[in-house]
Structure 1
Amino acid sequence: MEIEQRVTESSLLASFSDYADAQRLVDRMSDDGFPVESVRIVGEGVRTVEQVTGRMTRGRAAASGAAGGAWFGVLIGLLFGLFTAGAGWLYLLLISLLIGAFWGAVFGFVAHWSTRGHRDFSSVMTLQAVMTLQAQRYEVHVDQAQAAQAARYVL
C-alpha cells in the first residue's frame, strides 16, 4: 500500500499546547461531516527525549553483551537441539549459552571501547515511550479551499 503524498497550500486553523485538544477539534469536525481529508495536525518544535539510565563502563558493556549473547546462544542451542537425540540437547544448550555469552561479552566490550568515550552512558527506549517525540504546540491546518468552512469550528 502506497501513501499518497499531498503538498497543498494550507491555512492555520488553530494552535494547541496539547495534542489531545487538537485531536478533539478534528474529531468534532469529523462528527459534523467536515471533509477531514483536508485537515492535518502538525507538531511544531518537535524534540526527542531520551531517558539516561546510568554510566556505561567497559564492564557494563561486556555484561550487557554477554546477556544478549547468552540469549542468542540459547536460541542457536534450541535450534540445533531439535536435531539432537537423547539428553545431549541439554548439554548442547548449555554449551551454546556459554559460547554466546562469551562472544557477546567480547563484542560488547570491543563495541564500547571503539567509541573512545563518545557515548559513556546507557539509556532506554521502551514501549512506554521513554524515547518520545514531543512538540511545543500542535497546529491544526486545513487546505485553503476549506479554510472558510473550517473557521466556524474554532469560534
Structure 2
Amino acid sequence: MAFSSSRGGVPTTPTLPTGVQIASFDTYLEAQRAVDLLSDKEFEVQRTTIVGTDLRMVERITGRLSYPRVALAGAMSGAWFGLFVGLLFGLMSDGPILVMLLPALVIGAAFGMLFGLVSYAFTGGKRDFTSSSQVVAGRYALLCEQSRVGEAVRLLGEAGIRTRVGGPGPTQPVSGPTTAQPVGAPPWSEPQQPQQAGPPPAAPPGGPGAGQPPAGEQPAETTVPAAPTFRPWEDEHGNPRYGRRLPQRPTDGEENPS
C-alpha cells in the first residue's frame, strides 16, 4: 500500500510506502481504529498509510469434507443459480412468476448437487477438509507524510493512542549491536553477549597440564647452558672473593705444605 497522490490517484505499479512512522499496532483493528479517529477529526487520511510487516499466510480448517456435505453445498449453490434464472424468465413471460421459479429452483439444485459430487469424486480423497486462507501481518505500522506528522500525532494523543515518531519503519533495518544466540537454544533462553576481540586469556601457572605441548604436537628440544666452572675462592670471572685468601703457590724448589 502506498500514499495517494495529491489528485487522489493510486500508483499503477507496486510502490514502497514513504513517510514517517507515527504509531505501531499488534492487530489490524487497532490500526483501523486509529485511522478512523483521524477521519472523525477531519484529518486528511489520504496522507496516511497502514503497512503490515512480517506477513504470514494462515489457512484455518473449517471442517471435514464428505459426500453428504459436498452434495448439500452443491445443491445450495445450484439452487441460487436456478432461482436467478427462474426469476429472469418469469419477468420476461406473461404467466405467474412462481410457475417459473419452482422448476428452475429444483433443476438448479439437482445440477449443482451432481456437479459437486462429480468434482469431489475426481479428487480421490486427497483433500477431505474445507479451509479458509488469509494473509496476516505480525505488526501494523501507521505512516504519515512528513508535512502532517505533528497534527496527526496531536490528534492521536488526544484520543489516548500511544504514538512514536521516527521509529524504525517497515523497510528500514534496525541499527545497533545485536546479540547472538546459539543454534538449538530454546527461545526463552537469554541471548549471549557478543565477545570483544582481544588476546586469549593466559593459562594459570602451575595448573594441570602446565608446560605440556598441545595434543598432536611434538615437544621442542631445549638446550640447557652448562654451568660455569670456577673455584670456591674465586668468582665466575676468576677474581678473588673478598674476605678470603688465596693459597700460597709453591715456588720452584719448594714443596706444597698441604
Q: In the TM superposition, what is the alpha-carbon distance from 1:23 to its structure 2 partner? A: 6.5
- Deviation of 1:4 after TM superposition, in Å, equals 2.4
Aligned equivalent of 2:139: 137
Q: Distance in 1 between matches of 2:51 and 2:22?
A: 11
Partner residue, 2:104? 96
Q: Which has the higher contact order (CA 8 A, sep 6+)?
A: 1
User: 1:53 is matched with which residue?
Assistant: 62
Aligned residue identity for 2:61: V
CA shift for structure 1 position 109: 1.1
Paired residue type of 2:70: A
Structure 2: gaps spanning 5 or more residues:
1-7, 151-162, 166-258
C-alpha contact 2:21 2:164 (8 A) present in aligned 1: no
1:106 to 107, 110, 114: 114
Aligned length: 141
* 1:127 alignment partner in structure 2: none
Partner of 2:164: 154
* Structure 1 residues 1-43: Cα deviation after superposition (integer angstroms, max 9, x where no partner): 8512644776766644344269649x77xx8x9xx83x54321
CA contact (8 A) 1:18 1:138 kept: yes
Instruction: Name the one with the larger strand percent.
Output: 1
Q: Structure 1 140/110 Cα, relative in aligned 2: closer, same or farther at 3 Å?
A: same
Q: 8 Å contact 2:18–2:143 — kept in the other structure?
A: no
CA contact (8 A) 1:22 1:138 kept: no
The answer for the alignment partner of 2:154 in structure 1 is none
Identity %: 37
Q: Is the 8 A contact 2:31 2:50 kept in 1?
A: no
Look up the SS of the partner of 1:117 in the other structure.
coil
CA contact (8 A) 1:66 1:105 kept: yes
SS at match of 1:90: helix
Which entry has the higher C-alpha Rg, 1 or 2?
2
> Which of 10, 14, 32 in structure 2 is aligned with 1:3?
10
Contact 2:55 2:136 in 1 (8 A): yes
Q: Give ranges in structure 1 of 5+ residues lacking alignment.
A: 125-130
User: Cα–Cα, structure 1 residues 21 and 2, in superposed 2: closer, same or farther, change >3 Å?
Assistant: closer
Q: Return the TM-score normalized by structure 1.
A: 0.62
Cα offsets for 1:36-85 (capped at 9, x unmatched): 83x54321122344443321112211221111111211221121112333
CA contact (8 A) 1:22 1:140 kept: no
- Could you say what the CA RMSD is over the residues aligned between the two structures, in angstroms? 4.0
